[in-house]
A and B are shown apart, each in its own frame.
Chain A
């Protein structure tokens, strides 16, 4: 038995390594492929030391930042999806689906309408919105009759998202001045974002990493039930509060960078659990490469399909994610968390 467990763990290490290699490969593709004139071979020969100023500019100034941001956003969304699912004990809980991203986007829209424009302000505003969204979601999850039924939680989340979306639209109706900028935001995209935006969210990423490292163990104990966790010396309320804080920081930062992107937080932990099993600690590790893989793949497709224009990333993740959600619900084999 012990030997079997060790073999499985070894196997998981190899798997994780494979995923990391795949991530490096996809990042490279993301540098090589785009909507513009610079072809993959041109980009490659530039990377190998050729001198092509056009390719240099396109690869380093346009594609590299969005690749980095795709990696960051993918990690944030994947991890926060896994955390939210664990704390809501519901495999369908997802920041995008449950209105956490909508809360962040709503807060950003509100700030823009009120006249804010500074990039740094945006991140804290989005995180505050995500925090409020997160609290609402978990409030709903604790509601009697909703908490134990994954599908009813998703329905409640959809209603909450729709409400926030309607309020955002209403605000824009009264203030058409900001509507273009906000409309872009409400879809979600990596294009035209600057590296400074990424640097601005770095502090919250560090805080989150530390927090997650601290709460991973108690969180997996929480999966055994509240009494068991208390018996093991953990504090369920505190753990929940810290998880909510992490989810809000991560989703807020991701939304501040790329706008609300839904379904990624659902799909990534889903795949991660298939590799890692139910333990949240291992699931989180697997979310780290899988999230960026999915975001980057979607972003690469978004650049290529309608060149010389680009499709917004959020449209693509929604297109690919919706079938996964339907399949997950139809399979009726939802593991309880």
Chain B
């Protein structure tokens, strides 16, 4: 009896270690090669794009960071998972490393901007995957999502999610051109003194451009910066295109519009008088990235431009 238990146990241990060895995978990350477990079960995401990609791949992390300007993850996430399961381990700009440690993760997915000292600490807790940061570009989020997919062992799922975004954008592009809707568009955030124009090299402006709309920033945005300085009210005509997407970090996109409409310099713009101002949620449009956020943005575009 004892012998058979021992024998089975031993074979079991041998077998699992054999499988683990055979299937431990290596990834190329910003901090060199990182070995990740075969099927991570306790994943912590320290970046909104990583959370989005994980959920798109069918894996609900156990910990995540709050969205910018909020105390929870972005609200669009709750359409896909029960966000109450997620333990908050910090805010977008600052991780609470002790909170991460307490969760005992077996995989950490972090932002491309992660500082090296933080990486060193985190990688002692669990394998930490940090995508290469190659400056800002519209397409960067796709490579990031793929890397997170590889880390999770869910490459196929992420690829599928990305493909469906591309298909949907192409389809929307066609429907918009059939309806003869299009032209130029700006994405801005309204501050009490005026608007900040968002860069054309962001995730959201990239998704917007993929539907065939020509997104502009009037070269107001310095290279490597996400948005311009606050534009003087005297220069509002610079963002008077065919469409103006107005983002706010609050839940209520309407609030940005309300604030803007207190300014007569804003209400006299053509784009305002035509009713072509689209209030959008900055949690999705200016903070998030990933396939699910892209779908949410495409939803917004479809609703606003093809009523």
Most buried by A among B193, B220, B262: B193
**A312 contacts across to B, CB distance below 8 A:** 193
Answer yes or no: A61 CB below 8 A from chain B CBs.
yes
A38 to B265 CA separation, bound complex (whole angstroms): 14
The residue of chain B having its C-beta at the shortest distance from the C-beta of A310 within the complex is B232
19 additional A-B residue pairs with CB within 8 Å, beyond A62-B234, A309-B220, A309-B232:
A34-B234, A35-B234, A35-B235, A36-B233, A37-B237, A57-B268, A62-B265, A176-B70, A177-B70, A179-B69, A184-B192, A189-B193, A192-B193, A192-B194, A194-B262, A303-B232, A308-B232, A309-B228, A310-B230
A34 to B250 CA separation, bound complex (whole angstroms): 32
Given B69, B232, B234, B264, which contacts A176 in the complex, CB threshold below 8 Å?
B69
The residue of chain A having its C-beta at the shortest distance from the C-beta of B237 within the complex is A37
Chain A residues with CB under 8 Å of chain B are: 34-38, 57-58, 61-63, 176-177, 179-181, 184-185, 189, 191-192, 194, 303, 306-310, 312
**CB-based contact B234/A184 at 8 Å:** no
A72 to B187 CA separation, bound complex (whole angstroms): 36
**CB-based contact A306/B229 at 8 Å:** yes
The residue of chain B having its C-beta at the shortest distance from the C-beta of A179 within the complex is B69
**A308 contacts across to B, CB distance below 8 A:** 220, 231-232, 234-235, 238
**A185 contacts across to B, CB distance below 8 A:** 192
**B229 contacts across to A, CB distance below 8 A:** 306, 309
Give me the 8 closest cross-chain CB pairs, A-B, nearest first. A36-B234, A35-B232, A309-B229, A308-B235, A191-B193, A192-B193, A184-B192, A176-B69
- Chain B nearest CB: distance from A16 CB in Å? 33
Answer yes or no: B249 CB below 8 A from chain A CBs.
yes
Answer yes or no: B191 CB below 8 A from chain A CBs.
yes
**CB-based contact A177/B194 at 8 Å:** no
Most buried by A among B232, B249, B263, B268: B232
- Chain B nearest CB: distance from A119 CB in Å? 9
Provide 21 A-B residue pairs closer than 8 Å at the C-beta atoms, listed in order of the A residue. Answer: A35-B232, A37-B237, A38-B234, A57-B264, A57-B265, A57-B268, A62-B233, A62-B234, A176-B249, A177-B70, A177-B249, A177-B250, A180-B249, A184-B193, A189-B193, A192-B192, A192-B194, A192-B233, A303-B234, A308-B232, A310-B193
- Chain A nearest CB: distance from B94 CB in Å? 11
Given B70, B235, B264, which contacts A61 in the complex, CB threshold below 8 Å?
B264
**CB-based contact A309/B69 at 8 Å:** no
**A34 contacts across to B, CB distance below 8 A:** 232, 234
A192 to B263 CA separation, bound complex (whole angstroms): 7
The residue of chain A having its C-beta at the shortest distance from the C-beta of B70 within the complex is A176
A154 to B82 CA separation, bound complex (whole angstroms): 54
The residue of chain B having its C-beta at the shortest distance from the C-beta of A36 within the complex is B234
**CB-based contact B235/A36 at 8 Å:** yes
Binary contact track B197-240/A, C-beta < 8 Å → 1, others 0? 00000000000000000000000100000001111111101100
**CB-based contact A184/B232 at 8 Å:** no
A276 to B71 CA separation, bound complex (whole angstroms): 56
B227-260 CB contacts (< 8 Å) to partner A: 228-235, 237-238, 249-250
**B263 contacts across to A, CB distance below 8 A:** 192
**B234 contacts across to A, CB distance below 8 A:** 34-38, 58, 62-63, 303, 308
The residue of chain A having its C-beta at the shortest distance from the C-beta of B256 within the complex is A180
A58 to B68 CA separation, bound complex (whole angstroms): 35
Given A177, A191, A310, which contacts B69 in the complex, CB threshold below 8 Å?
A177
**CB-based contact A309/B191 at 8 Å:** no
The residue of chain A having its C-beta at the shortest distance from the C-beta of B250 within the complex is A177
**B262 contacts across to A, CB distance below 8 A:** 194
**A62 contacts across to B, CB distance below 8 A:** 233-234, 265
**B193 contacts across to A, CB distance below 8 A:** 184, 189, 191-192, 310, 312
B90-122 CB contacts (< 8 Å) to partner A: none
B31-77 CB contacts (< 8 Å) to partner A: 68-71
**B228 contacts across to A, CB distance below 8 A:** 309
**B68 contacts across to A, CB distance below 8 A:** 176
**A309 contacts across to B, CB distance below 8 A:** 220, 228-232
